[in-house]
Amino acid sequence: MWRTVLKGCRVEPGQRMVVLSGSSSNQDSVENAIHAGREIGAIVDQVIAPLPSGPKQVSPWGNLAPYHVSALGGDRAIIEKLKAADIVIDLIGMDRGGEQKEIQAAGTRVLLVREPPGTLQRFVSTSEDKQRVLSAADRLRIAKTMHVTSAAGSDLTVKLGEYPLLIQYGLADEKGRWDHWPSALVASWPNEGSATGTIVLDKGDVILPFKDYVRTAIRLTIRDGYITQIDGEFDADFLREYMEMFDDREAFAVSHVGWGLSPLARWTALGLFDKAQIHGMDARSFLGSFMFSTGPNDDAGGSRDTYCHIDMPMRRCTIALDGEVVVDAGRLVSH
């Protein structure tokens, strides 16, 4: 499994590969990454990251957790070592605090891996997955508007073109490229202030980082790029109180929107694992899902940097780009 993915990431004999791990990393993944890299013939080192420090947020489980802080502790020796590598296998999630951008700018490929081995084994990207994602990205790149509807009552319109795309197919196979194994999705950030309409999260839709399914419908009213009202029963109350806890208007902004593109991803996966074991990539990637998210857009070059970032993969939505349907009630449309 690891050999297949590393070869897909164009790891070759003589290349320098760094496995970045920490106290929360899955040790099976650490060992398998190291062994597979060495079997291919790469020069493999392991770097154990320091414990994060800096501002904290309250996590959904009530404890303090680092967010938007330095995952590498600002350690220049570690940062320079990663910049000198051809590829970094990131088993901690260093994409907070700006260090990853510096490392990628040096030409280093970065592959984030956070899911348990069983999920990785089932969900290995193929050339067909990559082509499906790239084809969807070509269509999204030229789109000026996205219109999302559903039988549950969603009716959202956003304008596009101000920000770049988020393209994930599970392989860091180009110089300076970041990707996340496993994943298959495409998304973009709406033009500032353009998102308007209604999103209805129905039973079975997913809220991350809660890592749970919606049980009672949540109705989000969106005006000028921000959620202005959250209506519903228990799940709506829970979501509203969580977002209000950050005391930050930007928490209610609409962030990236897109859709999942993997037939290997499973909507049911969240119900089969302990929350601490998984990162939620099945939910983000399952075929025909609509990704609605809130919070920051600084990763895309925008100005919003908020601790509150929520991904909400939804089922059974219809997505149209400039009037052309690309996902019909949760089913991918071929063009």
CATH number assigned to the domain comprising residue 90:
3.40.50.2300
Euclidean distance between CA atoms 173 and 175, whole angstroms: 7
- pLDDT tens column, 148-162: 999 999 999 999 999
Asked whether residue 107 falls in the same domain as residue 164, the answer is: no
- pLDDT tens column, 22-79: 988 999 999 999 999 999 999 999 999 876 555 444 444 444 344 445 678 788 999 9
80's tokens: 């320079």
Task: Using a pLDDT cut of 90, give the percent of the chain over it.
Answer: 83
| Most confident listed range (49-53, 123-127, 134-138) | 134-138
- Residue 180: pLDDT over 80: yes
What is the average per-residue pLDDT within 163-184?
97
Q: Count Cα atoms within 13 angstroms, Cβ side, for 320.
A: 12
Q: b/e map of 243-256 (b: 16 or more CB within 10 Å)? A: beebebebbbbbbb
Asked whether residue 121 is domain-assigned, the answer is no
For 8, 167, 243, 247, 289, the CA distances from 240, given in Å and listed in that order, are 42, 30, 5, 11, 23
What pLDDT does residue 18 have? 98
321's tokens: 């780009």
Asked whether residue 75 falls in the same domain as residue 191, the answer is: no
Domain final position from 114, 148, 171: 114
24's tokens: 């929360």
Kindly report the backbone phi and psi dihedral angles of residue 236, in degrees, each rounded to the nearest multiple of 5, phi listed first. Answer: -65, -40
CA dihedral angle for residue 261, residue 263, residue 269, residue 270, rounded to 10 degrees: 20
127's tokens: 């050339």
- pLDDT tens column, 288-311: 999 999 999 998 999 998 889 999
Cis preceding-peptide flag for 182 (omega within 30 of 0) = yes
**DSSP letter assigned to residue 70:** B
Asked whether residue 101 falls in the same domain as residue 202, the answer is: no
Contacts of 282 (CB under 8 A, 6+ apart): 119, 123, 182, 265, 266, 267, 269, 270
What is the model's pTM?
A: 0.93
Strand order in the sheet with 310-314: 165-168, 185-188, 254-260, 290-294, 310-314
What is the average per-residue pLDDT within 109-134?
94
What is the amino acid identity at position 67? Answer: Y
Domain final position from 79, 114, 149: 114
Asked whether residue 145 falls in the same domain as residue 215, the answer is: yes
What pLDDT does residue 184 have? 97
Euclidean distance between CA atoms 24 and 171, whole angstroms: 22
What pLDDT does residue 66 have? 40
Asked whether residue 186 is domain-assigned, the answer is yes
Which structural domain, as residue segments, surrounds residue 25? 2-114
Asked whether residue 214 falls in the same domain as residue 103, the answer is: no
Number of helices (H), then strands (E), belonging to the chain: the values are: 8, 22
Which residues lie across from 186 on neighbouring strands? 167, 259
Which of the pair, 48 or 335, is modelled with greater confidence? 48
Euclidean distance between CA atoms 313 and 331, whole angstroms: 14
Which of the pair, 8 or 277, is modelled with greater confidence? 8
Cis preceding-peptide flag for 52 (omega within 30 of 0) = no
What pLDDT does residue 58 have? 46
Domain count, the chain: 2
Asked whether residue 110 falls in the same domain as residue 149, the answer is: no
Asked whether residue 122 is domain-assigned, the answer is no
Euclidean distance between CA atoms 168 and 257, whole angstroms: 13
Task: Using a pLDDT cut of 70, give the percent of the chain over it.
Answer: 93
Asked whether residue 67 falls in the same domain as residue 208, the answer is: no
Asked whether residue 120 is domain-assigned, the answer is no
Euclidean distance between CA atoms 120 and 182, whole angstroms: 6
Domain final position from 85, 114, 143: 114
Asked whether residue 70 falls in the same domain as residue 190, the answer is: no
